[in-house]
Every structure is written in C-alpha cells, then in structure tokens.
Chain A
Amino acid sequence: MKISEAAKILEGTILCCEEFQDKEVTAACGSDMMSDVLAYAKDQAVLITGLCNPQVIRTAVMMDMLCIIFVRGKKPTDEMIELAKERGIVLVSTPRRMFSACGKLYSAGLVSGGY
C-alpha cells in the first residue's frame, strides 16, 4: 500500500515529507526498543513506535526505512522533524495505540516481513 493509505487507515497526520507519501510499502515493524529493531528488522519500510526521540529517526535511517508512524498521538519535536526531512523519511502521527495500529495495518495487507 502507499504510505498515504497507511496514514489514512490510522486516521493519522503526515507531519513531513508529504512528497513521498505515494511511495509503496509492503512490510512494517512495530517496536519501542531500538536495539530490537536493529536486531530483527529486515526490509520493513515502516517503523511503528511509541518511542519519540531523535534516535528513532537515526534507527530508521540505519535500516533504510521510508516511514515512521508514532502511536498514541506522540508528536515528534521540530528537531526530529528536521532530521527526518533532511533524510526524506515520512513521519506520521496516529492517535491509535500500538496494538490497534499494527492490527489495522496488518488486516489491510501490510505484512511483518519476519517471523
């Protein structure tokens, strides 16, 4: 699905890099522990997380991810948005919680890309 569709399913707001919202993504990974993302993520283009700090953006960069979805209405700081913009990573904020955000996207066809 397109990043824009994922945002819509989650009633989310795109916070930056709208120009990339039509990019296609097929797999996602949900975690609040960045070391787990680094250890287990493979080619998931989307990171769903409740953690909100600059290291989330850095982690996504290391994993070549295209989009980060912040759950529970978390709003990244201007500093984080700046970091993401420079790297072309789409940031989305959704009021949904982790479980329901992951569930919604999974039922809509996004896969986990791992075990």
Chain B
Amino acid sequence: MQDCVHLEYRVDGQNFVSAGSATESVKTFLKGMGVNPQDVRRVAIAMYEGEINMVIHANGGYAYADIYVDKCIITLVDTGKGIKDIDLALQPGYSTASDEVRALGFGAGMGLPNMKKYADECIIESEVGKGTKVTLVTRFD
C-alpha cells in the first residue's frame, strides 16, 4: 500500500442534502482500509461537524483527507466570513446559526466542541473576511 492516500472534495454551501457526503466517503474509505470502527467514527463525527460548518457558516469550501496507516489528517478550508473570536466559538452552546439551520438539527453550538472532543488534535485558524481552516488529526489505535 502507498504511504499516504490523498482525497479531495468540494463541499457546496447551503446544500443541506449533500452536506455530509464528503465525510461519508472518507468514512467508507477508512472502513475499507480496516481501521478500527471506534477510530472511524471519531474521524467521521469530527469531520461531519466541520463539513456542516462549512455548509452553514461559510458557503462551502474544500475538504481534504490525508490518510496514513496510523493516522488521518482532515483539512477543511473555506473562504467564508471567518471566525472573529475562536475561543468564544469553541464554547459549548455558542452559535450564530440562523433559525433555518436550527430547524435542521444543527446550530446547537456543539460542533467545534465535538471536533475538539473526538479528534486527537483540532487546530482552527481563521481570519475575518478571509476564511477558516480547520485541521483534524486522528491517530489510529
């Protein structure tokens, strides 16, 4: 097997049907690789929250997965409005989501906390007006 597999996805903004398809694809790939189910789920949950965030807060973006034998690095990049105060955004319950998004079952302000909880490393870089980059590292057991 190659040392690293690189997967790329375009994530459409405001598309609440396709949202999550990039994550599903990565999940299927990891499962196929034989990564243990608990780790697959950890990657899936963190990436899915990040993917949803790009859809609802940033009008879409790109998702990249770099998969190694012992870890997986997910990078979510968007050119959306950015996050002014990252520490505040990380607080459980903090959300700027619209009622429309809440009606979808998201917007509870648990996305970033979930990403922190499930990924081994969660790095958020953001600049207002420029965009956001989230890096999620998950090491396999």
Chain A residues proximal to chain B, CB less than 8 Å: 32-36, 38-39, 49, 51, 53-56, 58-59, 61-64, 79
Contact among A33, A51, A53, A59 with B16 in the assembled complex (CB-CB below 8 Å): A53
Contact among A36, A53, A63, A64 with B108 in the assembled complex (CB-CB below 8 Å): A36
User: Is the pair A64, B49 in contact by a Cβ cutoff of 8 Å?
Assistant: no
Chain B contact residues: helix, strand, loop or mixed: helix
* Cα of A108 to Cα of B16 in the assembled complex, Å: 35
Q: Which residues of A sit under 8 angstroms from B104, Cβ to Cβ?
A: 34, 51, 53, 55
- If A35-B108, A39-B113, A55-B105 touch, whether A79 touches B45 (CB-CB below 8 Å) is no
User: Is the pair A38, B48 in contact by a Cβ cutoff of 8 Å?
Assistant: yes
User: Is the pair A64, B37 in contact by a Cβ cutoff of 8 Å?
Assistant: yes
Chain B residues proximal to chain A, CB less than 8 Å: 16-17, 19-20, 23-24, 27, 37, 41, 44-45, 48-49, 52, 104-106, 108-111, 113-114, 117
Query: What's the least CB distance linking A40 to chain B, in Å?
Result: 10
User: Is the pair A64, B41 in contact by a Cβ cutoff of 8 Å?
Assistant: yes
User: Is the pair A34, B106 in contact by a Cβ cutoff of 8 Å?
Assistant: yes
* Cα of A89 to Cα of B23 in the assembled complex, Å: 17
Residue of B at shortest CB range from A50? Answer: B105
Q: Which residues of A sit under 8 angstroms from B52, Cβ to Cβ?
A: 55
* Cα of A59 to Cα of B52 in the assembled complex, Å: 11
Residue of B at shortest CB range from A87? Answer: B24
Query: What's the least CB distance linking B112 to chain A, in Å?
Result: 10
User: Is the pair B110, A53 in contact by a Cβ cutoff of 8 Å?
Assistant: no
User: Is the pair A51, B105 in contact by a Cβ cutoff of 8 Å?
Assistant: yes
User: Is the pair B24, A58 in contact by a Cβ cutoff of 8 Å?
Assistant: yes
Closest 7 CB pairs of A and B: A58-B20, A35-B110, A34-B105, A62-B44, A35-B108, A51-B105, A54-B17
* Cα of A51 to Cα of B106 in the assembled complex, Å: 11
Contact among B27, B37, B110 with A36 in the assembled complex (CB-CB below 8 Å): B110
User: Is the pair A62, B27 in contact by a Cβ cutoff of 8 Å?
Assistant: yes
Contact among B23, B105, B108, B113 with A56 in the assembled complex (CB-CB below 8 Å): B105
Residue of A at shortest CB range from B55? Answer: A55
User: Is the pair B108, A61 in contact by a Cβ cutoff of 8 Å?
Assistant: no
User: Is the pair B19, A55 in contact by a Cβ cutoff of 8 Å?
Assistant: yes
* Cα of A58 to Cα of B28 in the assembled complex, Å: 13
Query: What's the least CB distance linking A98 to chain B, in Å?
Result: 14
User: Is the pair A39, B110 in contact by a Cβ cutoff of 8 Å?
Assistant: yes
- If A35-B108, A35-B114, A38-B48 touch, whether A58 touches B19 (CB-CB below 8 Å) is yes
